[in-house]
Amino acid sequence: MTAVQHPPLDTGERRRTGDARTLITSLIDPATVEAIAVDAWVALVGEEELLVPVPGDLPADTLSAWVDVVGPWTGSVVLTTGRQTAADLTRALLREAAPELLDHEDVADAFGEIANVVGGNVKAALPGPSTLGLPEVGPAPAVRHPEDVCRIDVLWRGQPLAVSVQGALPSLPTPHDNPHPNGASL
């Protein structure tokens, strides 16, 4: 029965409206994500700690911290930066309480808390109610569906950092009448 329902033309727009799942790009824009991140930095890292909206190349050795959001939109809010920058952020948060040598747990705690603060506010800007997971730290979770991502790239103290709000669900099925799927990148 469903097999005979060929949509006349796949414009992407149609896919969005036809599918029950709403893409993040129609729920939040990069300016909102940036405003949330800037506020988090000013309050947590320091009043003069500006995030400059200039993309930079992330180094090879990165670390990510993220929280999961489960609700009408389900996905993760992922912060990614160089390992050294994550350590610098940790020192900025711990200040005089920072140990001489940071271990992974210190970095996971502080970087994870920043992800929690950014993620909590991203969640509140999305349709709710949703639940927020506890922060996790490690290699970034894979992008499941490149169109279900809202990402900003900024510099903190000259070092690149990315905030990615990305859907956790697998790629939407490619419509069968589209001969060249472009959703399966990477």
Partner 1 sequence: MTLTTTSFDWVRQLVHRESAIVLAPGKEYLVEARLLPIARSMGLPDVGQLVDSVRTRPSPESTRKIVEALTTNETSWFRDGDPFTALTSTVLPALLAARGPAERLQIWSAACSSGQEPYTIAMLLEDAMPYASTRASITATDLSRAMVERTRAGRFSQLEVNRGLPAPMLVRHFTRAGSEWQVSPSLRRMVSASECNLAAPLPRMGPFDVVYLRNVLIYFDLPTKQAILRRVRALMRPDGWLFLGAAETTLGVNDSWERVVVGRSSAYRPLKGA
Partner 2 sequence: MRALVIDDSRAMRRIVGAALEGLGYETRQAGHGREALDVLQEGWTPDLCTIDWNMPVMDGLQFVSAVRANPAWRRLTLMMVTSESEQGQIVRALAAGAHEYVIKPFTADALRDKLALLGMLPEEAVL
Q: Which residues bind partner 1 (CB under 8 A)?
A: 28, 32, 35-36, 39, 42-43, 47-48, 50, 121, 124-125
Smallest separation, CB 125 to partner 2 (Å): 9
Residue 116 touches which of partner 1, partner 2, none (Cβ within 5-8 Å per kind) = partner 2
- The whole-angstrom separation of Cα 125 and Cα 120 is 9
Phi, psi values for residue 159, rounded to 5°: -105, 140
Question: Which residue's CB is nearer to partner 2, number 106 or number 148?
Answer: 106
- The whole-angstrom separation of Cα 184 and Cα 186 is 7
160 near 57, Cβ under 8 Å? yes
Contacts with partner 2 in 51-110 (CB under 8 A)?
90, 93-95, 97, 106, 109-110
Beta bridge partners of 52: 155
Question: Which residue's CB is nearer to partner 1, number 10 or number 39?
Answer: 39
Question: Which residue's CB is nearer to partner 2, number 130 or number 171?
Answer: 130
122 near 165, Cβ under 8 Å? yes
Contacts with partner 2 in 27-46 (CB under 8 A)?
39-40, 42-44
> Counting every residue, how long is the chain?
186
Environment class of 27 (CB within 10 Å of its CB; exposed 0-12, middle 13-18, buried 19+): middle
Residues in contact with partner 2 by the rule CB under 8 A: 39-40, 42-44, 47, 90, 93-95, 97, 106, 109-110, 112-113, 116-121, 123-124, 128-130, 132-135
